[in-house]
Amino acid sequence: MSTGTQAVAPGLPQFYQPIEQSTSHAVSPRTVRQVNTSIGRIPEIPGNSLKTLNQRFLVGKVAVVALIFALAVAGVFYGVLVLRSSTTTTTVETTTTTTTATTTTTTTTSTTSTTTDTTTSTTSTTTTTTRTTTTTSVTTATSTTSTSTTSTTSTSTTSTTSTSTTSTTTQTTITFAPVGIYALNIPTCATWNDTGLTMAGNSNGTLGSDLGSLSAPVSIFVDNNNNLFVADRDNARVLKFVPNATIGIIVAGNGTIGNGSNQLSSPKGVAIDQYGDIIVADSSNYRIQKFVNGSTIGITLAENSTINPLGQMRDLHIDVNNNIYVTDSDNNQVGKFIPFSSIGVVVAGGGPAGPGLNQLSSPFGNFIDPNGTLYVADQLNFRVMKYDPGSLNGTIVAGNGTTGSTAYLLAQPIAVIVDNNGYIYVADYSNGRVMKWTTNYAAGGVCIIGCTGTTGVAATQLRGPRDLKFDRYGNIYITDQANHRIQKFMIQIPPLGCSSESSTLNHSSLVHGFF
Residue 345 burial by Cβ neighbours in a 10 Å radius (0-12, 13-18, 19+): exposed
Helix (H, G, I), strand (E, B) or coil at 314: strand
130 in Cβ contact with 39 (< 8 Å): no
Contacts of 249 (CB under 8 A, 6+ apart): 211, 239, 240, 241, 242
pLDDT bracket for residue 287 (50, 70, 90):
very high
Identify the H or E element spanning 479.
Answer: strand 476-480
207 in Cβ contact with 213 (< 8 Å): yes
70 in Cβ contact with 78 (< 8 Å): no
Largest CA distance in the chain: 152
Task: Write down the pLDDT at residue 482.
Answer: 98
Per the rule left: phi > 0, alpha: psi between -120 and 50, beta: everything else, 262 is alpha
Residue range(s) occupied by CATH 2.120.10.30 in the chain: 181-514
Task: Count the neighbouring beta carbons within 10 Å of the beta carbon of residue 173.
Answer: 6
Helix (H, G, I), strand (E, B) or coil at 284: helix
Helix (H, G, I), strand (E, B) or coil at 77: helix
Report the range of poorest mean pLDDT among 24-38, 120-134, 198-212, 422-436. 120-134
In eight-state DSSP terms, residue 64 is: H
Q: How far is CA 364 from the centre of its chain?
A: 37
- Rounded to the nearest integer, the mean pLDDT of the chain is 76
Tens of pLDDT along 90-108? Answer: 333 333 333 333 434 433 4
Of the candidates 71, 58, 57, the one whose C-alpha atom is nearest the C-alpha of residue 3 is: 71
Report the range of poorest mean pLDDT among 109-118, 322-331, 474-483. 109-118
Q: Which amino acid is at 359?
A: Q
**CA 33 – CA 31 distance, rounded (Å):** 5
**CA 321 – CA 300 distance, rounded (Å):** 19
C-alpha dihedral (227, 315, 260, 178), degrees to nearest 10: 30
Please give the residue that has the higher pLDDT: either 303 or 37.
303
Residue 503 pLDDT exceeds 80: no
Q: Averaging pLDDT over each range in 20-24, 56-60, 484-488, which range is the top one?
A: 484-488
Of the candidates 424, 420, 422, the one whose C-alpha atom is nearest the C-alpha of residue 410 is: 424
Class of domain 181-514: mainly beta
Per the rule left: phi > 0, alpha: psi between -120 and 50, beta: everything else, 281 is beta
Please give the residue that has the higher pLDDT: either 19 or 202.
202
**CA 497 – CA 515 distance, rounded (Å):** 27
Residue 45 burial by Cβ neighbours in a 10 Å radius (0-12, 13-18, 19+): middle
Please give the residue that has the higher pLDDT: either 412 or 309.
412
Task: Write down the pLDDT at residue 119.
Answer: 37
